[in-house]
Amino acid sequence: MRDAKDIESFLAQYPPEVSDLALAARDFLAKALPGAEETLDESAKLLGYGYGPGYKGLLCTLLLSKNGIKLAISHGSELPDPKQLMQASGKVHRHVQLRTNNDLKQPGLKRYLRQRWRPGKNGTRTTANVLAGGPCGLA
């Protein structure tokens, strides 16, 4: 995870309910994705999480606004979404709208993250869990 001072400065520009939710979402992602690297992109107003450098290693992002947070899942369009938690209609990405801490407790949210990605030894993503319902998809 990033330096706490950088994150505090970044979150200070948002209303308290959004910054508190962002802190809770960071904790959620740290537990759901152990060892994931966190990247702050202030100009894009997001925090990125992944297991490798650049866009290829990107797993998800937290997109902050004055009204809430979107947990954007890279390549989310490739995931089954039986609970219909994910929104958007693009060809690649999907997001889950976060308005309260309870949104982080939605059944299936961790599963989406773990289905799509598993940290490999060299930081590459693997989609085997999506296709085969492997162990990362069972949590």
Q: How confident is the model at residue 3 (pLDDT cuts 50, 70, 90)?
A: low
Place of tokens 């009204």: 67
Q: Which amino acid is at 61?
A: T
Domain at 4-138: CATH code: 3.90.1150
Task: Evaluate if residue 33 carries a pLDDT over 60.
Answer: yes
Domain boundaries, the chain: 4-138
Which band of pLDDT confidence, cut at 50, 70 and 90, is reported for residue 62? very high
Share of the chain above pLDDT 90, in %: 37
* One-letter-per-residue 3-state SS of the chain: CCCHHHHHHHHCCCCHHHHHHHHHHHHHHHHHCCCCEEEEECCCCEEEEECCCCHHHEEEEEEECCCCEEEEECCHHHCCCCCCCCECCCCCCEEEEECCHHHHHCCCHHHHHHHHCCCCCCCCCCCHHHHHCCHHHHC
| Choice among 4-8, 39-43, 122-126 with the minimum mean pLDDT | 122-126
Of residues 131 and 18, which shows the higher confidence score?
Answer: 18
Q: What pLDDT does 127 receive?
A: 36
Phi, psi of 96 (to 5 degrees): -115, 125
